[in-house]
Structure 1
């Protein structure tokens, strides 16, 4: 049996062809915890579209209506700038956790690992047996036993992929709409049908054939590992001081008996005894495998364990170190920025702009400006609003369009024309104003940005003499 080398990828043969991995099943405290975490994460993924919060699913990204619902909070398209802080905060949180605990995300919470290890590999083991059977059957000729197992396995793969794809689509169209689409012909909703077919095909390809190659080749996170961790980060490691030299259990050697059980259970096919490697996803399968062997041999467990590189060399791991203090400061700063940004989100979104056309109009001895106010109701219930002007307003200013109460439907929007005018004789120059929109029921209000009331240069009067020095600077 070939021994994985640290010099080359464990899934590549010497001739450059791919070496398929058939990891054995692993049992132990870490595997049990991983399965519990996986079941919880899959449960969250499946149930979020079912849980109603304020009349909408807990997470509903309604692209068609340009409304995004998160646990009762509704965001309009104009609020998506807050997502920058959310996404960058999640990414930095991942970096922070990696600096402390290594690739715990990859092995325990990454959706790709969760579905691969706890759905597709479960199906494979149930249909085709343990690792030795699967490897033997894959190398053997195609017979009836191999054919029906392949058909059942890939059929279940396709079914699982389709289910995952449908749940994913429900985050964007809601479960009710998804159910209506499923009952109707595909021609009536070709876009949604195409998305499901594409996702099903990609998931099937990834989980049935590409598998661990995604983690090794495509995912950038593993390649960033060396920059995100240091010698005090907790990783899955082999205690060479205790394990070497390797030998049989009856010989006077280190604790490692070279049973290769850690290699057999590894989902990426590496030998953890070679040290920390790019392919390691921190799943801890090798820890459970090694501990079971040590228990049978009545030797102390922990030959392979979660520890830092310093700890594996006999030193003391430092949890708080300059990098972690700096990361903690940045994380706290990011949380504060996100909190401040989220606090700026209001149930009413308003915007005002000058209407298309001339900046102002003269007629009937009046100066007239025309504005368009757009109001978006982000509540999941109808609201009524009043509009009023604010600012240093001339007493002669008159308005049209502010008198009536606006009624907005749930998640609806309205555009209101506001006409402002004043006698030309009272016109003395441009001034700024704002429009306040007040929810008559809840009492909250929102201001627009500053608008400027424009008119002719007040120095240009019909009978006034013109002086060049008044206009040339």
Structure 2
């Protein structure tokens, strides 16, 4: 009979995708977007050429029409219409798509695509190996083990990799950002020949220094307080009480007693995932806390305590965590 095929009590029950599968997929998305971020200018997918005075989009020259306006070939109405159609509408369209995604699912762009956040996570892991802390500003050393129990050996020699890699990331970012403004062939050609122009050298040097300091000391602060893209996503997300959020089964909080707060330690933004949504303002929906909980609770027949929830489930989750009766959040939509 069908009932005989059900798992016996006490056996782990698969209640969610394997954590490594989700995180592997996220890593692929991050790697793909980082590659696109680097290669977009050389392939003229998206950049603005200060030398030529026009943009490139998907391999095509993107002219607004200022040259035609200066030459008298189009009037004021023509140039205003061109600016509206070719500048403001594309920007507003991309912004609207980003904000709608954030309103419904949170900062998915940050956690799954953003090339800066992928650097944040990489430096976090290396710094934790070197000091036991994923950030210079962490108040205490994290437990030396992975969520699955694998021991981690902290060794200051990891600094020999952490600092050079942060500088390498900073240099890469500075050069790539420059190729969004100047012809990539010129920028890379000058660098390979060791003959960058004075302005190129100043830009790359200043960018490398500033970004190196940011990657080593202030990468989380940038994501939390300085990134306009992240800030507007968070504001949109907070405005939707039914948006996707990391839910916590508070009724089963006793199951956390045998855990070493793996979800807290896994968060690259240094947040407390079992808290209310207001305290998770800068959550990037990377789901590392969910994966950590799934791993530590893999032998629990009831499954993990953390998981993505949306709609009414998200409202109930917030009501319970806030100490309200479950229906209160749904009444104040």
TM-score by length of 1: 0.50
Match of 1:88 among 82, 87, 92: 92
* 1:273 corresponding residue in structure 2: 274
User: Which residue in 2 is equivalent to 1:164?
Assistant: 173
Structure 1 residues 244 and 123: alpha-carbon distance in aligned structure 2, compared to 1, 3 A threshold: closer
Structure 1 residue 260, shift from structure 2 partner: 0.6
1:29 to 2:37 alignment:
no
SS where residue 297 of structure 1 aligns? Answer: coil
Distance 1:273 1:215, change over 3 A: same
Report deviation, 1:59: 3.1
What do the CA deviations read for 1:84-124 (whole angstroms, capped 9, x no partner)? 1111111111111112112222211223212322x433554
Tell me how far 1:196 sits from its aligned partner.
1.0
Output the CA distance in 1 between the equivalents of 2:48 and 2:256: 58
Q: Distance in 1 between matches of 2:256 and 2:245?
A: 25
**Residue deviations 1:382-415 (CA, integer Å, cap 9, x gap):** xxxxxxxxxxxxxxxxxxxxxxxxxxxxxxxxxx
Contact 2:124-2:268 at 8 Å conserved across structures: no
Shift of 1:80: 4.8
CA deviation digits over 1:258-315, x for unaligned, max 9? Answer: 53111110112222112212232221110000011111334323x2111126215389
Q: Write out the 4+ residue segments of structure 1 that deviate beyond 6 Å after TM superposition.
A: none
- Residue 267 of structure 1 aligns to a residue whose secondary structure is coil
C-alpha distance 190-150 of structure 1, shift in aligned 2 (>3 A): same
Secondary structure at the counterpart of residue 210 of structure 2: helix
Number of aligned residue pairs: 265
For residue 174 of structure 1, report the CA deviation from its aligned partner: 2.8
Name 2:207's counterpart in structure 1.
199
Higher RCO by CA contacts (8 Å cutoff, separation 6 or greater): 2
8 Å contact from structure 2 (residues 99, 232) kept in 1? no
Cα distance in 1 for residues equivalent to 2:308 and 2:54: 44
The alignment's C-alpha RMSD in Å is 3.2
Measured in 1, the distance between the counterparts of 2:24 and 2:176 equals: 26
Aligned mates of 2:180, 2:235 — CA distance in 1: 35
Looking at structure 1, the residues matched to 233 and 185 of structure 2 have their Cα atoms a distance apart, in angstroms, of 41
CA spacing shift, 1:185–1:230, aligned 2, 3 Å? closer
Q: Using structure 2 for the length normalisation, give the TM-score.
A: 0.69
Q: How far 1:226 moved relative to its partner?
A: 4.9
Equivalence map 1:372-451=2 (5 Å) = none
1:222-258 CA-to-partner distances (Å, cap 9, x unmatched) read 47635543222112221224x234564xxxxxxxx45
Q: Which residue of 1 aligns with 2:9?
A: none
Secondary structure in structure 2 of the residue aligned to 1:282: coil
Query: Shift of the alpha carbon at 1:30?
Result: 2.5
Q: Cα–Cα, structure 1 residues 237 and 94, in superposed 2: closer, same or farther, change >3 Å?
A: same
Distance 2:30 2:62 in 1: 30
If each structure's helix is expressed as a fraction of its own residues, which one has the higher value? 2
- Matching residue of 1:237: 247
Shift of 1:73: 2.2
Alignment partners' CA distance in 2, 1:226 and 1:175? 35
Distance 1:99 1:60 in 2: 28
Separation (CA, whole Å) in 1 of partners of 2:98 and 2:233: 12
Question: Aligned to 1:264, what secondary structure does the other structure show?
Answer: helix
Q: Say if 1:166 and 1:311 are closer, same or farther in 2 by CA, change over 3 A.
A: same
> 1:46–1:287: structure 2 CA closer, same or farther, 3 Å change rule?
same
Matched, 1:101 2:88: no
**Alignment partner of 1:36: what SS?**
helix
2:197 corresponds to which residue? 189
Unaligned runs of 5+ in 1: 1-25, 52-56, 138-144, 249-256, 317-322, 324-473
Q: Secondary structure at the match of 2:240?
A: coil
Distance 1:49 1:222, change over 3 A: closer
**d(CA) in 1 for partners of 2:64 and 2:261?**
55
The one of 35, 45, 50 aligned to 1:63: 50
Larger Rg computed on CA atoms: 1
Kept after mapping to 2: 8 A contact 1:38/1:114: yes
